Structure 1
Amino acid sequence: MRLALIFLIFLSCFLVRAQPMSTSKPWTYWWWMGSAVTKEDISAQLDFFKKSGLGGVHIIPIYGVKGYESKAIPFLSSKWMEMMQYTVSEGQRRGLGVDMTTGTGWPFGGPNVSTEMAAKNMSILNNSLQVVLTKQKVKRAAPGGEGFVLDPFHSTAMTGYLSRFDSAFADVKNKPRSMYMDSYEAYGANWTSDFTKQFKERRGYDLETELALLNDSTGKPFSELVKIDYQQTLSELLYERYALPWAKWSTKHRFLTRYQAHGSPGNLLDLYAASDIPETESFGTSRFPIPALRVDPDYSIDQFGTPNPLAMKFASSAAHFNGKKLVSSETGTWLANHFKVSLSQIKPQIDELFASGINHIFYHGINYSPEKEPYPGWLFYASTNFGKSSHFADQFQLLNEYVESCQALLQNSKPDNDVLVYFPIHDLWATKAKSSGNVHLLEVHHVDRWLLDLPFGKVSQKLWNEGYAFDYVSDLQLTQLSVDKNGSLNSGNSSYKTLLIPESSYMPMKTLNELKRLANAGAKIVFEKKVPTTVTGYAEHLRQQQQFSREINALTKQQTVKVSADLEKDLAANGVVRELRLAENGLTFIRKRTQNGALYFVTNLGNQFQEGWLQLGKADMVFKNDPMAGKSLLSHRPGKKGNEFFLSLLPGQSCFLQSGLDGARSPHLDNPKQEFEIKGKWQLTFLKGRPTLPHSSEMDQLQSWAELPDSSEYFSGTARYKIQFNLPDGMLRKDAFIQLDLGDVRETAKVTMNGKALGTVWSIPFRMNVNAELLKAKMNVLEIEVTNLSANYMRLRDKQAPEWKKFNDINIVDITYKKFDASKWKPMPSGLLGPVKLIYE
């Protein structure tokens, strides 16, 4: 008996220490300001993360807090490593994973980066090279992480940089899951000490003899070829000397890698593919025409651009092509100003990421903040606050449950894209660069600077808008493709019906040779409008050009190769399935496959569709899996080209459509919808919040509580709306399908009907189903508890006590990167604005 008890105690301890980590749950960035952390506060915050439904954290040490300098822990010191290992072990006990940046702030750099290893800039003056240090230091560095930014093209700089991590991790047992590299921000870096040597070996001529062509801005013959050669050399060095050594080092030390390749002068597809988890970024607010979806008027598109799914697809394409299960995103950066972001603004951005192929969300983010720190605690300068001091902290779990439900399906399904779109990066390299150092930085912020104006960007936008499922492919990735007996292209992980070459001018001979190899094996290749006319490479160009022209003309005469004047027709002839009905109704989707058949994630990010009959290209029987409302079998009918399905999906809603017969039949009825607006005297009672609770009141018309007297304009918290109402004659039918529509909600609403809790609505549209049996003909009681933003309180706080803004470096700034001051804000609408309706059929 005693032995059995000891065994049970041992087993329980083991279970506590080894809870499984989840990637289907969303993770979060977790900034350690000055790394001034304690074990007690780490544990308390991990408890909040666990309770809220997060799956893991990403530690990023950054600048410190004024007055806490003595408590700062230098990066990679023995004390810092102790805190990191404590976080990993405590995370394991809670089933939370831990990632960390291979450095502090961004980009890579620090105290062991010598001037020889530091980033360099080259310019041309009087036809001679001028090379200087960029003098860029690590941005937002933490104590112990300050120093020069690393030269990303240097032969040994990455190895030298990582040596301090070799030492720090030599005897570490509790290691993070993954190392992380942030987006490329080595501004002006365009050179390295052996660049001319590398250039000559790779390109076949001496760059210094052709500086006039490299520096030309007048359109001299062959100048574009020299510029392409220069950019290609930078791209190769970045891949071989920066991305690969870091990835190999991480693998050697048993870390996974998460890599934000964007912003770099390299081919993003190859760089993303070098990591285990490619990561894109959703920065700012998209302009979705969803009714009632707010956009912060202070957000500057000129400064930051807007999120774009075509840029996101570079990361997901690399994952699909190379068989990587996870593809992540830095999510929610600057959705709106501090204290103004709602859950209803976050969901559409996440839905766009899901439709773009992302399946591993990282919130941006949560700041470590001492538990005893007064409100609002320590805050990061540029993020959406997903932490304990956020105004939606009590409802945060609802968002996380939604994300988890979606990611569980997205991570456990295979891509099903028919078209592989070649990325002709050499056409970009032939144009004038719009970034510092005269290099092309392929960023996710301003895709207008490099992507949208290219024919590649235009045809990709056409495919996206018209319902095609596609991935991108690089020159290097073409070498991985094989062709099956049906003529489909296979990467070893994904299969494609056709290879599309966008309208372009330049192509390497190696790429043409790969196209010949694939065509000879029976691959279906479509050139959009025309074939490339010019081979890349300045060395021996005339001889290479003659060969190129002969061989590309011969290629177009092969049976499976087409130069297309009608892209839709030629893609269809190659077996490409177009999801026309989804596209023409303005619905955004990603198509995947499971063992049971087709799987679609469909999101309504527009204001065109509400409900109607649709047809799917790869499904005969369909059930709807709504992460918020459960499963239902869609009503269907025969159509001209197969079964059609009746789908209800209001603007702002999303769902999965899956092959099969699972679930009860959906409530599609022939009866016309009727609406009943709930009117009368609303009793408003303030329940909890700051700075104080305003007095209760009654209102005949719903309005923002910020318009009421008694300092309500400064209130941040929760208030209850209560009303009694009677149903109109004929509405009370047990077989009726009824929904409660709350109209405009600022920002979340917990609903009770006749004493029965119906749940909480937190996203647009603010609707929920109501069981008809719950309603009565007379004396129904509806109670709605609404929680608003914290912005109105911060208007008062910044007038009375702005001392919370005490952070080093950039401190805290507003969405335009100016000094943050909420005291001049106007009150934001708060509460239940309505109209509140019952919709029934």
Structure 2
Amino acid sequence: MRVTLFLLLFFKCVLLPAQNISTAKPWTYWWWMGSAVTKEDISAQLQFFKKSGLGGAHIIPIYGVKGYESKNISFLSPQWLEMMQYTVQEGARLGIGVDMTTGTGWPFGGPNVDTSNAARNMVVTDGNLFITPTKQKVKRAAPGGEGFVLDPFQSNAMDKYLTRFDSAFKGISSKPRSMYMDSYEAYGANWTDDFTKQFKERRGYDLSSTLTLLTDSSGNPDAELVKIDYHQTLAELLYERYAVPWTKWSREHGFLTRYQAHGSPGNLLDLYAASDIPETESFGTSRLPIPGLRVDPDYSIDQFGTPNPLAMKFASSAANLMGKPLVSSETGTWLANHFKVSLSQLKPQIDELFVAGINHIFYHGTTYSPDKEAYPGWLFYASTNFGKHSHFAGEFSLMNAYVEQCQSILQNSTSDNDLLVYFPIHDLWATKAKSAGNVHLLEVHHVDRWLLDLPFGKLSKKLWNEGYAFDYVSDMQLKNLTSDKDGNLHSGKAIYKTLLIPAATYLPTETLAELKRLASAGVKIVFDSKLPSKVTGYADHLKRQTIFENELQMLAKVKTVKVSTDLEADLKNNSISREKSLSANHLNFIRKKATDGSKLYFVTNLGNAFQEGWVTVSAGSNFFKNDPILGKSLLAYRKGNVGEEFFLSLAPGQSCFLLAGTEKAARKPVSGKKEEFQISGDWNLKFTEGKPRLPAAAKFTDLRSWTTLPDSAEFFSGKANYKITFDIPEAVLKNQQVELDLGDVRESAKVTLNGKELGTLWSIPFRTRIDPKLLKMKDNVLEIEVTNLSANYMRLRDTQMPDWKKFYEINIVDITYKKFDAAKWEPMPSGLLGPVKLVYE
């Protein structure tokens, strides 16, 4: 077995220059409320991060806490900069990295933004243009960061905004690793002072002469062309005047950049690619059919949408195409209401990010809270809380160890996507906008508004579901692609075998020229079902359309170009590798290349259609299984209809890596048939630690939520010990592979069997392997210490002492942004719900 490679991938981390700081460990958002921070508490929280297995923290100054006004520190003041530098220095000592936002709250704006460079809105009424300030101010601003939102399209607005930071960082040596820009939330912004001039120079005609077409929603072809031109101009200005200057300034000052391009009216692929670390966002809960996976019933899909890996792939595609080693995600935002999030809910969301190409997790997040502050401490209004007062703080390091092991491999391998899919954004721009300011905002929330309902989105979903490995490419990025003698596409960092053009209506002249260039160099281009029919651009359209049609027909006659009526067959003919077996079993995956050139897979079961079975992968048969939680194991192989198959056990909720190795398990028949022995009898329950006080001990034969017990158990949050003595049949002892399955656990379980600790189970499925030698026929003793959520205690706390809700601005709200009131909640099921079983073959 190629154990050397395994150990290299398993333990290697991406280290930041000159610092012992790991990006393989997950990082966290860190909200500084009012920036009312002290060195003592900064150090204490950094030590909590280190103990928990975090690799870094991202400082975001926000609104303050009532009663602490005198301790607030104004953003970028000498005292604030002193605290920031201390954080960086103390973090370096502890091995904790530090990032910061180039501002406070979001989006960019503040006290040095006045009416001359603040965001503006344009509306057309009765054919006339009306320009007004949006009057939007920085959301969740910190002391010293209040002010208007910056105009993202103005020529000198970003430069003027950054002069404040020039002065602040002059002479400072202890700097954060990276600057950060949050998602675009300049609501209603759709204009700037020289927009008319820029439009005419770029599009070739005067926008004022076509204002009625700009607002025409009748389907008029000319109106669609003007809308495309308008959005194209916005996108170019946003890229040239907002993203690029900020990135350039950051690099000149020694910072990397993390950029959330989503939510903007630009082409996300270009904007993400402008940064060093493209960052997507996982907001809310994916509707995954994993048995036992809970979704907060109060979460509003209509209001917030759900996470979608096809949207996440915009960030990872930009990273893959441009050779950026890190691609990050804001993770766990509003996964459920405060005090209701479990680690078992978090892991599937993280696994979904991994298969979408993300490899640098940022939790959302942790709130700075003084050590002396009573429970539950200071809290940011939006869940999830990853701080020291979280109910899963004791088990947090276990999930972080899982993430670190995964990211160690994902960061030290490169993409093996062999299909490149063109993003025809002009077809979107031709449609009626559904967002503020009458512009298309490409947000991660309601992806149906700009992605899923278009032919591009439908094609991407089909490719995803059918096991293809692909990235997206923009019009601008096509210009950087070259080809080799075999007709493969090269971006300088990634290699693709085919360029796939979705069924699109519009195509720019410049993009057609790039397709002709690539086709003439032997690149394989496949058009899905049809050729585009219209050239973009309202100016001199009829003449340009005739030229466009002629050149498009010439392109279609090139030997390597295909207008496909059977996409699967055409992609197969172009040697595109499809993971048909994985997709047929509803397993999600990402395929990558290790440093030695060998293939590897991360595979996750985010559904309920597969438990175990014979599967194949396109990269061959030399793999072993590495489960980051359960460890590594050999795979049994057999000869199948399409080559060698291996037997994969991967229950719903589980994930694993397939890593290169030559050693295989014995080729004995694998039945896959499992036997179960349910552990039953008298369960003794004793509460050991928690709030508001310890309920009385209990005994029962049927496992059920401890909230059904009397003596205040329905308000209890903490730990309780379950103990049972049981006998087992001889058949279990004779088996070499035995698992303990705890069934439903609310929320984590530390397991001890016959005096030996088996570890803490924190994710679905709540299973662990057992050494059969540990079992005996009679008088086995099983102890399970369960930790529940803090929600039940907060039901009581909000009735008796709601004084903890003392924050400015939005204060604290529930998952629908209404006033937070835990007192009205029903008790959350708690404890060991079972059934508890031994599983063996």
What TM-score range do you get, normalising by the shorter chain? over 0.9
Q: Is 1:473 matched with 2:473?
A: yes
* CA deviation vs aligned residue, 1:184-214 (integer Å, no higher than 9, x gap): 0000000000000000000011111111111
Instruction: Specify the alignment match of 2:313 in structure 1.
Output: 313
> How far apart are the structure 1 equivalents of 2:262 and 2:445?
9
Instruction: Specify the alignment match of 1:779 in structure 2.
Output: 779
> How far apart are the structure 2 equivalents of 1:479 and 1:544?
21
Structure 2: gaps spanning 5 or more residues: 1-16
CA contact (8 A) 2:638 2:667 kept: no
- The Cα shift of 1:608 comes to 0.2
CA contact (8 A) 1:188 1:437 kept: yes
Read off the aligned partner of 1:615 and give its amino acid letter.
Answer: T
* CA deviation vs aligned residue, 1:377-432 (integer Å, no higher than 9, x gap): 00010120111000000000000000000000000001001110000000000000
Cα separation, partners in 2 of 1:67 and 1:226, compared to 1, 3 Å: same
CA contact (8 A) 2:636 2:664 kept: no
Read off the aligned partner of 1:686 and give its amino acid letter.
Answer: F
Read off the aligned partner of 1:574 and give its amino acid letter.
Answer: N
CA contact (8 A) 2:214 2:227 kept: yes
- The Cα shift of 1:19 comes to 5.7
Instruction: Specify the alignment match of 2:803 in structure 1.
Output: 803
The within-5 A match list for 1:739-758 is 739-758=739-758
Instruction: Specify the alignment match of 1:48 in structure 2.
Output: 48
Read off the aligned partner of 1:426 and give its amino acid letter.
Answer: H
> How far apart are the structure 2 equivalents of 1:220 and 1:690?
65
Cα separation, partners in 2 of 1:663 and 1:180, compared to 1, 3 Å: farther
> How far apart are the structure 2 equivalents of 1:243 and 1:283?
23
Instruction: Specify the alignment match of 1:185 in structure 2.
Output: 185
Instruction: Specify the alignment match of 1:410 in structure 2.
Output: 410
Read off the aligned partner of 2:567 and give its amino acid letter.
Answer: L
The within-5 A match list for 1:552-591 is 552-591=552-591
> How far apart are the structure 2 equivalents of 1:398 and 1:356?
23
- The Cα shift of 1:662 comes to 5.9
* CA deviation vs aligned residue, 1:685-710 (integer Å, no higher than 9, x gap): 11100000011111111111011001
Instruction: Specify the alignment match of 1:491 in structure 2.
Output: 491
Q: Is 1:726 matched with 2:727?
A: yes
> How far apart are the structure 1 equivalents of 2:510 and 2:698?
76
The within-5 A match list for 1:91-106 is 91-106=91-106
Aligned partner of residue 394 in structure 2, secondary structure? helix
- The Cα shift of 1:568 comes to 0.3
* CA deviation vs aligned residue, 1:664-722 (integer Å, no higher than 9, x gap): 77998547421110000001011100000011111111111011001000000000000
> How far apart are the structure 1 equivalents of 2:833 and 2:531?
58
> How far apart are the structure 1 equivalents of 2:317 and 2:732?
51
* CA deviation vs aligned residue, 1:544-589 (integer Å, no higher than 9, x gap): 1000000001101111000001100000001101000000100000
CA contact (8 A) 1:596 1:659 kept: no
Q: Is 1:623 matched with 2:627?
A: no
Instruction: Specify the alignment match of 1:14 in structure 2.
Output: none
Aligned partner of residue 394 in structure 1, secondary structure? coil
* CA deviation vs aligned residue, 1:574-631 (integer Å, no higher than 9, x gap): 1101000000100000110111511110000000000000010012211001101111
The within-5 A match list for 1:397-436 is 397-436=397-436
Read off the aligned partner of 1:417 and give its amino acid letter.
Answer: N
Instruction: Specify the alignment match of 2:455 in structure 1.
Output: 455
Percent identity over paired residues: 72
> How far apart are the structure 1 equivalents of 2:128 and 2:552?
38
> How far apart are the structure 2 equivalents of 1:596 and 1:508?
37
Read off the aligned partner of 1:650 and give its amino acid letter.
Answer: A
Q: Is 1:165 matched with 2:173?
A: no
The within-5 A match list for 1:702-717 is 702-717=703-718
Instruction: Specify the alignment match of 1:507 in structure 2.
Output: 507
> How far apart are the structure 1 equivalents of 2:796 and 2:524?
65
- The Cα shift of 1:128 comes to 1.6
Aligned partner of residue 98 in structure 2, secondary structure? strand
Cα separation, partners in 2 of 1:699 and 1:268, compared to 1, 3 Å: same
CA contact (8 A) 1:646 1:668 kept: no
Aligned partner of residue 601 in structure 2, secondary structure? strand
* CA deviation vs aligned residue, 1:718-777 (integer Å, no higher than 9, x gap): 0000000011233222x5210000000000000000000000100000000000000011
Instruction: Specify the alignment match of 1:134 in structure 2.
Output: 134
Aligned partner of residue 789 in structure 2, secondary structure? coil
Instruction: Specify the alignment match of 1:5 in structure 2.
Output: none
Q: Is 1:636 matched with 2:625?
A: no
- The Cα shift of 1:218 comes to 2.3
CA contact (8 A) 2:732 2:738 kept: no
Instruction: Specify the alignment match of 1:833 in structure 2.
Output: 833
Aligned partner of residue 377 in structure 2, secondary structure? coil
Read off the aligned partner of 2:435 and give its amino acid letter.
Answer: S
Read off the aligned partner of 1:576 and give its amino acid letter.
Answer: I
> How far apart are the structure 2 equivalents of 1:777 and 1:51?
40
> How far apart are the structure 2 equivalents of 1:556 and 1:190?
38
Instruction: Specify the alignment match of 1:528 in structure 2.
Output: 528
> How far apart are the structure 2 equivalents of 1:71 and 1:241?
37
* CA deviation vs aligned residue, 1:153-175 (integer Å, no higher than 9, x gap): 00000000000000000011100
Instruction: Specify the alignment match of 2:605 in structure 1.
Output: 604
Aligned partner of residue 459 in structure 1, secondary structure? helix
Instruction: Specify the alignment match of 1:343 in structure 2.
Output: 343
Read off the aligned partner of 1:525 and give its amino acid letter.
Answer: I
> How far apart are the structure 1 equivalents of 2:134 and 2:699?
64
> How far apart are the structure 2 equivalents of 1:671 and 1:223?
61
Instruction: Specify the alignment match of 2:680 in structure 1.
Output: 679
What count of residue pairs does the alignment treat as equivalent? 824
Cα separation, partners in 2 of 1:88 and 1:664, compared to 1, 3 Å: farther
Greater CA drift, 735-744 or 195-204: 735-744
> How far apart are the structure 1 equivalents of 2:126 and 2:26?
54
Instruction: Specify the alignment match of 1:39 in structure 2.
Output: 39
Aligned partner of residue 785 in structure 2, secondary structure? strand
- The Cα shift of 1:640 comes to 2.4
Aligned partner of residue 395 in structure 2, secondary structure? helix
> How far apart are the structure 2 equivalents of 1:446 and 1:815?
17
- The Cα shift of 1:127 comes to 1.2
Aligned partner of residue 733 in structure 2, secondary structure? coil
CA contact (8 A) 1:632 1:662 kept: no
> How far apart are the structure 2 equivalents of 1:360 and 1:222?
44
> How far apart are the structure 2 equivalents of 1:86 and 1:368?
15
> How far apart are the structure 1 equivalents of 2:731 and 2:645?
33
CA contact (8 A) 2:681 2:701 kept: yes
Q: Is 1:822 matched with 2:822?
A: yes
The within-5 A match list for 1:81-480 is 81-480=81-480
> How far apart are the structure 2 equivalents of 1:667 and 1:627?
26
Q: Is 1:701 matched with 2:699?
A: no
Cα separation, partners in 2 of 1:840 and 1:666, compared to 1, 3 Å: farther
Cα separation, partners in 2 of 1:218 and 1:444, compared to 1, 3 Å: same
Instruction: Specify the alignment match of 1:613 in structure 2.
Output: 614
> How far apart are the structure 1 equivalents of 2:663 and 2:207?
65
TM-score normalised over the length of structure 1: 0.97
Read off the aligned partner of 1:604 and give its amino acid letter.
Answer: N
Aligned partner of residue 222 in structure 1, secondary structure? helix
* CA deviation vs aligned residue, 1:781-817 (integer Å, no higher than 9, x gap): 0000000000000000000000000000000000010
Read off the aligned partner of 1:691 and give its amino acid letter.
Answer: P
CA contact (8 A) 2:621 2:646 kept: no
- The Cα shift of 1:478 comes to 0.2
Read off the aligned partner of 1:635 and give its amino acid letter.
Answer: A
CA contact (8 A) 2:680 2:726 kept: yes
* CA deviation vs aligned residue, 1:627-664 (integer Å, no higher than 9, x gap): 01111121111122221110000000000012223687
* CA deviation vs aligned residue, 1:802-834 (integer Å, no higher than 9, x gap): 000000000000001000000011111000000
